Amino acid sequence: MKIFETENDIKNNCLHAQGLNLVPTMGNLHEGHLSLIEESKNYDGKTIVSIFINPLQFGPNEDFRNYPRTIISDIKKLEKIDCDYAFIPQDDFAKKLNLIKAPSISKKLCGKNRPGHFDGVLTIINKIFSVILPTHAFFGLKDYQQFILIREFTKNYFPGIKIIGLPIIREKDGLAMSSRNNLLTKDERKIAPNIYENLIWIKNNRKKFTISELVKISSEKLERHNIQIDYLGVFDKENLKKVKNFEEGALVAVAAKIGKVRLIDNIVLNNKN
Ligand code: PAF
């Protein structure tokens, strides 16, 4: 696997001429990332993974400094699955960028308690896309709101790039894979699967209760486990507005803190599930 560290490295090698399938990451790679990379191999061209912990998307009280940094093992994992290229820029990559203002949908769900987060995400994605010029970019649907925002941003500013969203990969006990899971203590890790269990409980009980009853009951259940809810609800999967009735494609989404660690998860309902 060839590793590139600077913008010029990428440009001088004219990588994009081969057709690039990009998997943008902040490292600490887990099976969720690896599944995106495996999927990208089904597309023509080469796979390039970017690893950059983007300071612009962390708020002042968030975990930028504690965010797991595991670059050596990340590179080993990428080599093991025959990734073609990695782009691993230095910290100054995020300096002097024009801040992109994310549209109003960014103020909902995760944006409510993380002001500026999605501005930071779009700013770095804008930069990474303009350096790499991929044909496709792959994102996990765990970060559902991020996916919608990047997809819409790309339609407007990089119409040549196709955004592909792929299903959440879970641990055996249902916990959605996330780099943040590594920050949980043993005891916190034990209660974390309750988050997904509650989403499934809402899905399975959607004919028995109203949405507000479901949200109330499952919020209480989570709180009993000392899981602090940031939001939990049922939303339209395109505009992320709260819905009053379950409809085809409704998004059931949650963000919650266990100790200091903020986790998110979601399921999209359809007629079949
Ligand atoms: O999902 C992530 O890992 C990050 O938000 C992303 C898309 C790589 C931007 O920094």
What confidence tens digit (pLDDT) does each residue in 73-99 have? 999 999 999 999 999 999 999 999 999
User: Ligand 1: which residues within 6 Å by Cβ?
Assistant: 24-26, 54, 57, 121, 124-125, 143, 146
Q: Is 33 a catalytic residue?
A: yes
Q: What is the pLDDT of residues 33-42, one digit of tens each?
A: 999 999 999 9
Which of 64, 124, 139, 264 best tests ligand 1's pocket when mutated (most atoms within 8 Å of CB)? 124
Domain final residue, candidates 137, 166, 195:
166
CATH of residue 127: 3.40.50.620
Ligand 1 atom nearest the C-alpha of 54 is: 10
Q: pTM for the complete prediction? A: 0.97
CA distance 243 to 237: 10
Q: What is the pLDDT of residues 154-213, one digit of tens each?
A: 999 999 999 999 999 999 999 999 999 999 999 999 999 999 999 999 999 999 999 999
Q: What is the pLDDT of residues 222-273, one digit of tens each?
A: 999 999 999 999 999 999 999 998 877 899 999 999 999 999 999 999 766 5
Q: What is the sign, positive or negative, of the torsion defined by CA atoms of 184, 164, 11, 79?
A: positive
Structural domains of the chain, count: 2
Q: Is residue 271 part of a domain?
A: no
Domain final residue, candidates 166, 190, 210:
166
Answer yes or no: is pLDDT of 30 > 90: yes
Q: Which domain holds residue 250?
A: 179-266
Enumerate the H helices of the chain as residue ranges.
7-12, 31-40, 71-80, 110-113, 117-132, 144-157, 186-191, 194-204, 211-224
Can you read off the two tokens belonging to residue 266? 């979601």
Q: Confirm if 89 and 52 have CB atoms less than 8 A apart.
A: yes
CB atoms within 10 A of CB 138: 25
Ligand 1 atom nearest the C-alpha of 26 is: 3
Query: Average pLDDT in the 118-128 region?
Result: 98
Closest Cα to atom 8 of ligand 1:
25
